[in-house]
Amino acid sequence: MRISTSLKYEIGASQINKLQAKQLHLYEQTATGLRVVRPGDDPLAASQAVTVSQSLAANSRFESNRAVASSNLGMADTAVQNSVDVLEAIKGRLVQAGNGSYSASEMQALGAELKSSYAALLTQANATDGNGSYLFSGNQGDTAPYAVDSDGWITGSYQGDAGQRLVQVDQTRQISTSNTADELYGDVFDDLRSVIEALETYDADDAEGFATVLTNAQDSVSGTFDTLVTIGASIGARMNEVSALDAIGSSRSLSYSSQLDDLVGLDEASAYSLVSYYQVALQASTLAFQKIQAMNLFNS
Amino acid sequence: MNLYNLGLSGINAANARLNTTAHNINNMDTAGFNRQTVTVSTAGGTLTGSGYFGRGVSVDGVSRQYSSFLYTQLVSARSQQASLATYSSQISQINDLLGTSSEGVSYALEQFFSSVQAVATQPSDTAARQEMLGQAASLATQINEAQRMLDEQYASVNAQVSTQVDQINSYVTRIDNLNQQITSALAASGSQQPNDLLDQRDQLVSELSQLIGVTTSANGASINLTTGGGQVLLSGTTVYPLKAVASAEDPTRTVVAYTMPLTTTDADGVKTSSTVTVEFDESKLTGGSLGGLLEFRSETLDPIRNDLGRLATGLALSFNELNAQGLTLTDEAGGDIFSIGEPTVYSNANNEGSGQVSAVFSDVDGLASSDYSIVYKEDSGYTITRLSDGTSTTYDADAGVIELDGLSITLPDATDGSVADGDKWSLQPTRTIASTLSVSLTDPSGIAAADSEGGTTNNVNALLMGELQSTKVLGGGTLSLTDAYTQIVNKVGVQVQSVTAATTAADNLVTQRLTAQQAVSGVSLEEEQVALLQYAEQYQAASQLISVASELFDTLLGIAS
């Protein structure tokens, strides 16, 4: 078959061009560390990489969310533990009040102590987070769970609502990071007020009336004590769940990163060996072309 | 005596061959050159008493080594190659646009949803709210930018269509000139082929077909040219030029049209000649870089712009819808977070009626990533066709506002005469909408994180916003916002791969056919060098004859004296 001279040049040049184009793509890959530099390099991998990348970013965001959840639960836990301690002290005082052998002035002194315990408990109920939102008022974060009058008693009833302050701690998991003062404390403040006022105006002649108020208060305190312990355990459980999710989250992050690398990352070793390969191929091709082109009858 | 003539005929033949060989060598690299050879035959014999004595060699003519089959094959392969090369270079720009994942729309989406989560976790935190608005603005900017680059490419395609139409017309004119030159050259020479003119014409046809696929047919010594779809460009000596015009359907789109002569006869029998411009059916214009441009525009550029628009619309409408359901930090119902434009409707330039069609978005879930054509016919009412799959629905002339594919379309009442039979409109809901996406909410407290219960730590609505990252809000409940973006990446990637593979195949085909064509028509320097030596020898040998003849004459004269 005849080979025309211009064909020789055209084919030689196009082979060299092809090799150079492959080299260029390889340089791009090594410079970016990516096998898939553009969607056209591997459409399936490129689109899957978008999804994995989104999941990776979301995973990281959930970690931040969990930090906030932990912090909120921690503050709630502290307030609940403090409340439990105060109730413990109150229980002791109420037992003393049922002694029956105290004088009126000793009863009044008890009343004063219980009043300061009442205030301490109220402080916990109306606790705030670092940003000025109340912990236990449900969705009404800027409203105190209980309004307080000038004498330190609560006025009216619970002012918040039943909102749970859910936090998205994982792709499909929302955890409640608070409980409402209503479910924590119930009617304990009202019952405590009754017994404190009864102590302040103690009349030994109305022993029966006093005993009723006292028993009421003791039941209420006991019930609230149990509720707080139970909810405290639930808070603890939720904090544990958040920690467990943290562990899962960080291993998931590793998994996503590894998936991403598998999809679009460059296998450095084979890339570098290809770089040498193409260099050699290009040299060989150019040399061959030079030799072939140098051979013609006009030259010899 | 005869020896002089014989020598002369030999010298002439050698001369002719040497000249032709030199011509071949000089034109070795001329595009489209087919090597030429001299055809010779014996000059016959003269009858004498002792037999027929030959009269030497006569040069019959110069012919080009040309196979019309191989040439046509090569031209068709080059036409396809040019079409793919253009498609490939256009689509690679979109490939680059979507390139790196550390920037661009994908990253902006991640950052935005992350900021939404931050507000959901701490709804009363003003800094988190401010950050969410900031990330929303970033995302809108990225989407605007992507659309801007696609729009620029659209404008560039329009410009290239115009330029290439001009070039095509110029080629057709030049081929027409050559037709005429070839015809007169043939008339002057009788039967000798004007090889170099034929080569030039063939080369022009090859270059033309790299602009637009054409078929040639012989018309005497001339050739006629037709495009795919049978539209004549050149017939006899009449050129039918192409035009680049604004489409009647969509004034932003430059399309190719042909002019046809039109003779109308009125009621009195008076004929008027005019021309009518008819837009091509683009699917028929294949081959060459114009064919590649048109294919790229309708197969890749239009759908990708639609897809991006659907993503932008989905983002804006779904967030706005959620925000409206909730309460802001000041316990008011939420307003819009994003603002986005309205679907575009073009009235056909040939409409005789004045009725306008308009549309607004009503349900983001039903949005298709498609354009629609709306036609009114007196006997069937309105027909709306979804162009992506060809399904049509008909409506009455007074149907008013209809719901279709997530759009509320207002059809003008045709019963009052404002709409003429055959009026058409082109509805492009999401084609250019991504450039209109922006953040309209400026006050961070306007993010309605709370549900209807209200409260500063109420984050119920914001949690729903966070879930929008994976909620299937588009495509009839099949695509999330992220999915919609992933689809774009995948679509472009697949098309790039397919075009790249086709380009490689086309390149290989051209090489194959070029090799075959060159085997017949190409100049081989070695061959010509050998020929030079050979014909130089022939020339020397023939000139020897004359020298011998001269000696003989001298001898003859010598005898006489």
Does residue A31 sit at the B interface (CB-CB below 8 Å)? Answer: no
As given in the structure block, the two tokens for residue A218 are: 């003791």
The span from the CA of A152 to the CA of A119, in Å, is 7
User: What average pLDDT does the segment A193-202 reach?
Assistant: 90
How many CA atoms lie less than 13 Å away from A152 in the CB half-sphere? 15
Q: How confident is the model at residue A101 (pLDDT cuts 50, 70, 90)?
A: confident
pLDDT number for residue B418: 87
Q: What is the overall mean pLDDT for chain B?
A: 92
A218: how many CB neighbours lie within 10 A of its CB?
Answer: 18
What DSSP letter does each residue of A164-187 carry, written as one string? Answer: --EEEEETTEEEE----HHHHHTT
Q: For A179-188, write each residue's pLDDT tens digit.
A: 999 999 989 9
Provide CB contacts within 8 A for B509, sequence distance 6+.
B77, B80, B81
Q: Note whether A139 contacts B92, CB cutoff 8 Å.
A: no
* Run of H or E including A115: helix A104-125
Q: How many CB pairs under 8 A join A and B?
A: 191
* Digit-coded pLDDT (tens) for B354-368: 889 999 999 989 998
In this prediction, residue A7 carries a pLDDT of 87
CA B469 to CA B467: how far, in whole Å?
A: 5
Q: Does residue B417 sit in helix, strand or coil?
A: coil
B243 contact partners, CB below 8 Å, separation of at least 6: B165, B256, B257, B258, B259, B277
In chain B, the residue whose alpha carbon lies closest to the alpha carbon of A137 is: B457
d(CA A265, CA B101): 12
Distance CA A76, CA A138 (A): 12
**How do residues A104-121 score in pLDDT, each as one tens digit?**
888 899 999 999 999 999
CA distance A72 to A51: 31
pLDDT given at position B270: 86
| pLDDT tens digit sequence for B199-250 | 999 999 999 999 999 999 998 899 999 998 788 999 988 899 999 999 999 9
Closest CA to B166 of B56, B244, B63, B255: B244
Provide, as residue numbers in chain B, all residues whose Cβ is less than 8 Å from the Cβ of A54. Answer: 106, 109-110, 113, 469, 482
Whether the CB-CB separation of B36 and B523 falls below 8 Å is answered with no
SS (H, E, C) A224-271: HHHHHHHHHHHHHHHHHHHHHHHHHHHHHHHHHHHHHHHHHECCHHHH
Compute the C-alpha angle A10/A12/A13, nearest 5°: 65
Helix H or strand E encompassing B9:
helix B2-26
Distance CA B333, CA A295 (A): 86
User: In a 10 Å sphere around its CB, with 0-12 CB exposed, 13-18 middle and 19+ buried, how is residue B276 labelled?
Assistant: exposed
- Name the phi and psi angles at B403, rounded to 5: -105, 130
Closest to B239 measured CA to CA, from B294, B179, B199? B179
Nearest to A3 among B125, B485, B524 (CB): B524
CA distances from B548 to B539, B544, B551, B553, B554 (A): 14, 6, 5, 9, 10
Of B101, B524, B526, the CB nearest to A50: B101
DSSP secondary structure string, B484-499? HHHHHHHHHHHHHHHH
The answer to whether B202 and B67 are in contact (CB under 8 A) is no
The whole-angstrom separation of Cα B115 and Cα B304 is 28
pLDDT at B1 over 70: no
Q: DSSP label at A206?
A: G
pLDDT at B100: 58
What tens digit of pLDDT does each residue of B462-484 get? 999 999 988 999 988 899 999 99
Can you give the pLDDT at residue B454? 85
Mean pLDDT of B498-525: 94
SS3 assignment, position B271:
strand
Instruction: Give the full edge-to-edge strand order of the sheet including B424-428.
Output: B344-347, B424-428, B372-377, B381-386, B392-395
Q: Which two tokens stand for residue A41?
A: 């390099």
The whole-number average pLDDT for the span A166-173 is 92
Label residue B190 left, alpha or beta by phi (over 0 means left) and psi (-120 to 50 means alpha): left
Contacts of A29 in chain B (CB under 8 A): none
Does the distance separating the beta carbons of B124 and A46 come in below 8 Å?
no
Q: Is the pLDDT at A232 greater than 60, yes or no?
A: yes
Q: What is the pLDDT of residue A214?
A: 92
Q: Residue A299: its pLDDT value, please?
A: 65
Number of Cβ within a 10 Å radius of residue A1: 7
Gap between the Cα atoms of A71 and A135, Å rounded: 11
Spatial CA neighbour of B76 closest among B257, B245, B223, B215: B215
Model confidence at A298: pLDDT above 90: no
> Looking at the partner chain, which of B98, B515, B529 has a beta carbon nearest the beta carbon of A7?
B515
pLDDT at B98: 85
Q: What is the pLDDT of residue B43?
A: 87
The rounded percent of chain B whose pLDDT value lies above 90 is 75
Segment A63-86 shows an average pLDDT of: 95
Among B442, B469, B120, CA closest to B311: B469
The complex's ipTM works out to: 0.86
Task: Say if the Cβ atoms of B492 and A65 lie within 8 Å.
Answer: no
Question: Would the CB atoms of A140 and B457 count as touching at under 8 Å?
Answer: yes
DSSP code of A215? H
Mean pLDDT score, B26-42: 92
Q: Is the pLDDT of residue B102 over 60?
A: no
pLDDT at A202: 83
As a whole number, mean pLDDT of residues B244-264 equals 91
Give the per-residue pLDDT at B186: 92
Nearest to B18 by CA among B554, B546, B404, B540: B540
3-state SS string for B184-236: HHHHHHCCCCCHHHHHHHHHHHHHHHCCCCEEEEEECCEEEEEECCCCEEEEC
- Helix axes of A207-264 and A43-97: crossing angle, nearest 10 degrees: 160
Which pLDDT does position A291 carry in this prediction?
87
CB-based contact A38 B95, cutoff 8 Å: yes
Which chain A residues have a beta carbon less than 8 Å from that of B469?
Answer: 54, 58
CA nearest A171: which of B467, B201, B486? B467
Residue with tokens 């070795």: B28
Give me the DSSP letters along B422-476: T-EEEEESSSSGGGG-EE----GGGS--B-TT--TT--HHHHHHHHTTTS--BTT
Q: What is the pLDDT of residue A52?
A: 93
End-to-end distance of chain B based on CA atoms, in angstroms? 20
Confidence of residue B259 (pLDDT cuts 50, 70, 90): confident
Positive or negative, the Cα torsion across A140, A142, A143, A144?
positive
CA distance B520 to B72: 14
Place of tokens 């091509």: B280
**Residue A90: closest CA among A185, A225, A181:** A225
**B393-422, pLDDT tens digit by residue?**
999 988 889 999 999 999 998 888 889 999
Does the pLDDT value for residue A1 go beyond 80? no
pTM higher than the cut 0.80: yes
Residues 6+ apart with CB under 8 A from B515: A3, A7, A11
A138 to chain B, any CB pair closer than 8 A? The answer is yes
- Using a CB–CB cutoff of 8 Å, tell me whether A176 touches chain B: no
d(CA B483, CA B476) in angstroms, rounded, equals: 13
Lowest mean pLDDT among B102-106, B446-450, B451-455: B102-106
What is the distance in angstroms between the Cα of B434 and the nearest Cα belonging to chain A?
20
Residues of chain B above pLDDT 70, percent: 99
Distance CA B83, CA B90 (A): 11
> With 60 as the cut, is the pLDDT of residue A215 above it?
yes
Indicate if the pLDDT at residue A102 is higher than 90. Answer: no
Cα end-to-end distance, chain A, whole Å? 23
DSSP three-state, residue B396? coil
Q: How many CB atoms lie within 10 A of CB A287?
A: 10
How many angstroms separate the Cα of B119 from the Cα of each of A138, B131, B383?
17, 9, 47
Which of A136, A129, A131 is CA-nearest to residue A70? A129
Residues of A in contact with B124 (CB under 8 A): 131, 133, 141-142
Is residue A148 pLDDT above 90, yes or no? Answer: yes
For residue A157, which of A149, A148, A146 has the smallest C-alpha distance? A146
Contact B391, B385 (CB under 8 A): yes
State the pLDDT confidence band at B101, using cuts at 50, 70 and 90. Answer: low
Confidence of residue B264 (pLDDT cuts 50, 70, 90): confident
The Cα B213–Cα B287 span in angstroms is 4
Contact at 8 Å (CB) between B469 and A58? yes
CB-CB neighbors (< 8 A) of A58 in chain B: 110, 113-114, 117, 469
Residue A146 has a CB neighbour count (10 Å cut-off) of 23
What number of helices (H) and strands (E) belong to chain A?
Answer: 7, 4
Q: B528 burial class (0-12, 13-18, 19+ CB within 10 angstroms)?
A: buried
Show Cβ contacts of residue B270 under 8 Å, excluding neighbours closer than 6 positions.
none
- The predicted pLDDT at position A6 comes to 87
